[in-house]
Structure 1
Amino acid sequence: MQVAKGRHNLKGLFNILLPTLFLLQTLSHASGLNSDGFALLSFKWSIYSDPHLSLSDWNDRDQTPCNWSGILCLKLGAYEDPRVVSLQLPQMGLAGSIPKQLGQLTYLRTIDLQNNQLIGTLHREIFDGLSLRNILLSENQLSGIIPPEVGNLKDLEYLNLGNNRLVGSIPDPITNCTSLVSLVLKENTLTGSIPHGIGSNLSLLQQLDLSSNRLNGSIPADLGDLSNLQGTMNLSDNCLSGPIPASLGKLPLNVSLDLQQNALYGPIPQTGALSNQGPTAFLGNPGLCGFPLKVDCPSLPSEPQDLPPSGIAATEPPGTKQSKSFNTKQIVAIAVGDVFGIAIICLTFIYCYRRHALRKAKKNARTCLEKASYKYDGSSLREGSERESGTTEHGDLVHFSKDFKFELDDLLQASAYVLGKSGPGVVYRAVLEGGTTVAVRSLGIEGDQHHKEVDNEILLMGRVRHPNVVRLRAYFWSVQEKLLVYDFKAGGNLATALRGCRNAKGPMQWATRLNIAKGAAQGLAYLHDCGSRKYAHGGLKPSKILLDENMEACIADFNVVKLRSLCSVSSAGCHGLLVPGSRAYSNITEITMDTIHLFRSSPYQPPEAAEDPIPTQKWDVYAFGVILLELLTGKSLPVKLASSELDLVAWVHTSSQGSTSFSKVLDPSLLLERMHVQHEMLEVLQIALSCVAISPEQRPRMKQVAESLENIGCSSSKY
């Protein structure tokens, strides 16, 4: 037995010494390797399975690791030798652990080891690299706690530790990471409460996903201060309790909340963004009540009166004067009870009245639809403009596709979720009966205008058919509301995807960016030369480029700027199309003065927009050029410098003089790919700079831009 025990001890000693012997052997052969290389070799020897041989070229006899797979180096400051700034090996099937020696990479900015089979804990020494900006370690099997030293990383922008086996609480010092843009800790086993200060300190945060953990306590009220949040704030599948803070209503209106499967209770506040949520946001919380759930909140009980028990005479101390009247406390209690009673009766009356009015309105609309609704069958909408005025009063639903129809009642009763807000209008995602999802844009205009010019304008929009243009399926017109019904695109928009917020998998790869640019250019070129009609979008920006589930780009909301101008001139109605020689064209200043400040302040509008507010196709070319620069640089608009803000176009012009300065404008997350596709990026940069020429005459046509982009990287595959 003692012999077996001795063998066991020897085996354990051998397991400890073997990695050390390997390391000593490595160091003996790597006398020329710099300190960054030593730190990276410790990672290689911590990996026991490398099915794709991604570390096979990590040669211990090299003088520098800069040519190793997954490694990017840059010359920094006064150092003559390049330093490691990026370690990116996602989806390589690596099995092993992350050694603490990686913390010795002083200038490391990015660790991307997502979707591997890494185990072990996160050593606090890893967070000693104060240059870290991106820590992407999701979809591994990491365990242990999140070290509080993460709070030392002042420049950290992306932290994704989702889909691991982490335990413990979310460290409070994480609120010191004031540069955070995305915080994803979903699908772990984290406990404790959500730290206070996330909302008040992390003002740049655009994505917050803490779902599928075991977090408890109440929702911090300061989460409502996250004014830059996008997409969904996901706190679902936890053990959160208490009421929903009314302060969450201060979140942007296009933010979706997911509070499902918790222990929240009380009435759902009807303020701001909270009032825009659908019922699915609150499911699995039995204690919640109120709209949009079909659970009525209990009435508030009256305050009990301070009366003596029945059958017992009230006595007074000696020397006091007895009286049959109520004392002051009793009178106050009775008054408060009466006020509550009257308030409940009034609220009940208002609720019943509104329900009755809503049922009546829907019934009238349904009757009107059945009797006089006009649906597009290939004939001119001129006929529709001559129908009885009674139809216009209740509203008309006009379809543009025979194979895609729905009833007015389906649209009125659909579950709607706010996607975004643009000017006076709002965009909703509506789920019709049967599960069909559409996007509904409200023009935000009221009035009884319904003229043939508007009908014909929308009809032309409904005839547009192109895979890179969002298709208009129908429109609804009534005195109170004007709605455009489009196909729904499940991939969100370019503004969100470009900043890595779509699926928390970090910055977008170059092949994906190039493919999106090509698709958007094809769609815009088609609109600019759409048969006999030549459209000008007039409001192009990244949020108007929608993405489907395959990241294919589609132009959205074309002609909406013009349509809104047509229908908001004055109470006199619409005055015709915005074409030279028309009466509307002569009144263009009156039409657009309310919105001209948007054009002048928008970085996607060209210099001439300040003097001539009429949108042209050259406007679109300029806007597309700015979008190409965003795809290349990854910069938000405007570019924030140390002491000022600078227009993106001006910043690129000043920073990209000469080919040697190309890396200054390129998105840092693309530097690893630059060595393979630098020629593609340079070609796109040249196209972008031609699009943003100051003189409109010097800008190319969109057809030329689309053809030039199509010839770039034809052999590249999508990421």
Structure 2
Amino acid sequence: MVEHGEEEGPNRSTNIVGGGVGRNNKSGENVGKLTFVRDDREKFELSDLLKASAEILGSGSFGSSYKATLNNGNSVVVKRFKQMNNVGREEFQEHMRRLGRLSHPNLLPLVAYYYRKEEKLFVSDPVQKGSLALLLHGQTRGTPTLDWPTRLKVIKGVARGLSYLYKELACLVAPHGHLKSSNVLLNASYEPLLGDYALIPLINQETVQEMMIAYKSPEYFNNGRITKKTDVWSLGILIIEVLTGKFPASYLQQGSEVDMTIWVRSVINDGYDNNMGLTRNSEGEMQKLLNIGMACCERNVDKRLDIKEACVRLEEVRERDRDDDDFHSTCASTEADHRSSRGTSEDFAVIIN
């Protein structure tokens, strides 16, 4: 849920205390508490969180994110939301329980939450490599670049996580609703984890339409609506961003209304990202991935891929061109046969002598 790649600032010590978080009521009792939605995490109290030393990770569309280190040495990531009053307490809690039941290798699990009308806190696990946006666009000296196999792995993982959301949250028109590179986090093995998913039902409607990526799609831009294929459009934008290394800055700006089909055409003409490591035996597969991204970015919703079609086609993309693999496989097989044949003749010569 870390909003890397937007208004990211230097890490510095701070407090995660919002106005009134954990405040006392008239009788002096603390009215705030954390609610854990998973049973496989060590529990702690809100007071432990508020006393923890914390570093600001970033400030994004909805609020700031922090990495907090508890007294026991464990770390958690906390994100604060202020524009999250679209539903009442009971409906909010039910939605949190639903998110807590989700389990997939490519989803960032929600661990716990804090509810107050003016402010919400979401608690999740820290992710080692940070966001995809940071690794693609925030390169610093000594930071490794993402090569083609890693980028392909990331896209496939994103699609699998997205497909899972479509299945488990079928009641939502846009099960993710806010898919972008800063909401894709990478673990130690560069496996992607989707964050900030399924927020549309909770966020204030005026804020949703102004900030959420789903509401920057062509169908909303032209017709004022989102569809079951809107998240697929966001996946297409992500694919093209990963392949070209171009950051879709204008479309991520708060309140901006940009026809992203123009951006897609312009960045494709610039070619692939040189940092990806284009080689002769991978260019064909890169082109296949680009074609899928374009099909996901189809302006006409009826012609756009659905999530199942997109996932099937993505799983068919490989690191190397098939023809090139077949060539090398044939050569290796021929050489092995030659060595095997030669070895048999030499053995026979030893026997007869």
Which interval holds the TM-score relative to the shorter structure?
0.7 to 0.9
SS at match of 1:474: strand
Q: Evaluate the alpha carbon distance shift between residue 626 and residue 448 of structure 1 in structure 2; reply closer, same or farther with a 3 A threshold.
A: closer
Please tell me whether the aligned partners of residues 87 and 201 of structure 2 are also in contact (alpha carbons under 8 angstroms).
no
User: What are the within-5 Å matches in structure 2 for residues 472-551 of structure 1?
Assistant: 472-499=110-137, 501=139, 504-505=142-143, 507-530=145-168, 533-534=171-172, 536-551=175-190
1-structure distance, mates of 2:111, 2:40: 10
Which has the higher relative contact order, 1 or 2, with Cα contacts under 8 A spaced 6 or more apart?
Answer: 2
CA distance 1:447–1:509, change in 2 (3 Å): closer
How far apart in 2 are the matches of 1:631 and 1:618? 20
1:608 is displaced (CA, Å) by 1.3
Q: Which amino acid aligns with 1:396?
A: K
SS at match of 1:435: coil
Q: Does structure 1 residue 406 correspond to structure 2 residue 44?
A: yes
Matched positions, count: 307
Task: Check the 8 A contact 2:218/2:260 in 1, yes or no.
Answer: no
Verify: 1:650 aligned to 2:262, yes or no. Answer: yes
Counterparts of 1:531 and 1:626, CA distance in 2: 22
Tell me the equivalent position of 2:244.
633
Partner of 1:395: 32
Partner in structure 1 of residue 9 of structure 2: 255
Name the CA distance, whole Å, in 1 between partners of 2:217 and 2:169: 26
Partner of 2:65: 427
Superposition deviation, residue 403 in structure 1: 2.8
Structure 2 alignment gaps of length 5 or more: 251-257, 322-353
| Distance in 1, Cα, partners of 2:197 & 2:210 | 20
- Distance in 2, Cα, partners of 1:486 & 1:470: 7
- Give the whole-Å Cα distance in 2 for the aligned partners of 1:358 and 1:450: 19
1:685 to 290, 307, 311: 290
Return closer, same or farther for 1:476/1:358 CA change in 2, 3 Å cut-off: closer
Q: Give the one of 691, 701, 713 matched to 2:306.
A: 701
Amino acid at match of 2:128: A
Amino acid at match of 1:255: G
Cα distance in structure 2, aligned partners of 1:603 and 1:560: 11
User: Cα distance 1:367–1:436, how it changes in 2: closer, same or farther (>3 A)?
Assistant: farther
- Aligned in 2, Cα 1:537/1:628: closer, same or farther, shift over 3 Å? same
Secondary structure of the 2:139 match is coil
2:304 is equivalent to residue 666 of structure 1: no
Rg bigger for which structure? Answer: 1
Tell me the amino acid that sits aligned with residue 399 of structure 1.
F
What CA deviation, in whole Å up to 9, does each residue of 1:213-234 have, x standing for no partner? Answer: xxxxxxxxxxxxxxxxx78xxx
TM-score, structure 2 as length reference: 0.75
Deviation at 1:545, TM superposition (A): 0.6
1:278 maps to amino acid: S
Q: Against the structure 1 CA distance between its residues 708 and 475, is the aligned structure 2 distance closer, same or farther, given a 3 Å change threshold?
A: same
1:623 corresponds to which residue? 234
Residues 648 and 620 of structure 1: CA distance in aligned 2, closer, same or farther (over 3 Å): same
Report if the CA contact (8 A) 2:132-2:185 is conserved: yes
Q: Per the alignment, do residues 511 and 436 of structure 1 end up closer, same or farther by CA in structure 2, a change over 3 Å counting?
A: same
Query: Cα deviation per residue 1:499-542 (whole Å; 9 max; x = unaligned)?
Result: 25267345321111111111111111110111765552111111
| Distance 1:538-1:532 versus aligned 2 partners, 3 A rule | closer
Structure with the higher fraction of residues in helix conformation: 2
How far apart are 1:647 and its partner, in Å?
A: 6.6
How much has 1:649 moved relative to structure 2?
A: 4.1
Report if the CA contact (8 A) 2:177-2:231 is conserved: yes
Task: Note if contact 2:33-2:45 (Cα within 8 Å) is conserved in structure 1.
Answer: no
Counterpart of 2:273 in structure 1: which amino acid? D
Q: Does structure 1 retain, via aligned residues, the 8 Å contact 2:37–2:96?
A: no
For the 8 Å contact 2:178–2:214, the answer to whether it is kept is: no
CA distance in structure 2 between the aligned counterparts of 1:539 and 1:463, rounded to whole angstroms: 20
How far apart are the structure 2 equivalents of 1:631 and 1:407?
40
Distance 1:713 1:604, change over 3 A: farther
In 2 relative to 1, CA 455–503 (structure 1 residues): closer, same or farther, beyond 3 Å?
farther
Cα shift at 1:638: 5.3
- SS at 2:104's partner residue? coil
1:81-480 equivalences in 2 (<5 Å)? 254-257=8-11, 277-278=12-13, 361=23, 368=30, 394-404=31-41, 405-445=43-83, 450-480=88-118
Tell me how far apart the structure 2 counterparts of residues 450 and 475 of structure 1 sit (CA, whole Å).
15
Q: Deviations over 1:151-171 (max 9, x none)?
A: xxxxxxxxxxxxxxxxxxxxx
| Conservation of the 8 A alpha-carbon contact between 1:499 and 1:507 | no
In structure 1, how many angstroms separate the alpha carbons of the residues matched to 2:21 and 2:66? 22
- Report deviation, 1:490: 1.9
Question: Which residue of 2 is the match for residue 563 of structure 1?
Answer: 202
3-state DSSP class of the match of 2:200?
helix
Would you say the 8 A contact 1:536–1:616 is kept in 2? no
Instruction: Give CA deviations for 1:570-614 in whole Å, capped at 9, x if unaligned.
Output: xxxxxxxxxxxxxxxxxxxxx33x553446xx6983211125555
* Percent identity of paired positions between Structure 1 and Structure 2: 29
Runs of 5+ in structure 1 lacking a partner? 1-229, 232-251, 258-276, 280-290, 293-356, 369-393, 566-590, 640-645
Change (3 A) 1:709 1:411: same
Could you tell me how far 1:256 is from its partner in structure 2? Answer: 2.0
Which amino acid in the other structure matches residue 438 of structure 1? V
**Matched residues in 2 for 1:459 and 1:358: separation?**
24
Q: Secondary structure, in 3 states, of the residue corresponding to 2:229?
A: helix
Is 1:607 the counterpart of 2:213 in the alignment? no
Distance 1:675 1:415, change over 3 A: same
C-alpha contact (below 8 Å) 1:492/1:502 kept by paired residues: no
C-alpha distance in 2, partners of 1:408/1:253? 27
Letter of the 1:254 partner, please give it. Answer: E
The answer to whether the 8 A contact 1:398-1:475 is kept is: yes
**Matches of 2:238 and 2:119, distance apart in 1:** 32
Question: Partners in 1 of 2:168 and 2:86 — Cα distance?
Answer: 30
State the shift of 1:650 in Å. Answer: 3.0
Q: Secondary structure at the match of 1:679?
A: helix
1:596 to 197, 204, 209: 209
Question: Residues 679, 492 of structure 1: CA spacing in aligned structure 2 closer, same or farther, 3 A cutoff?
Answer: same
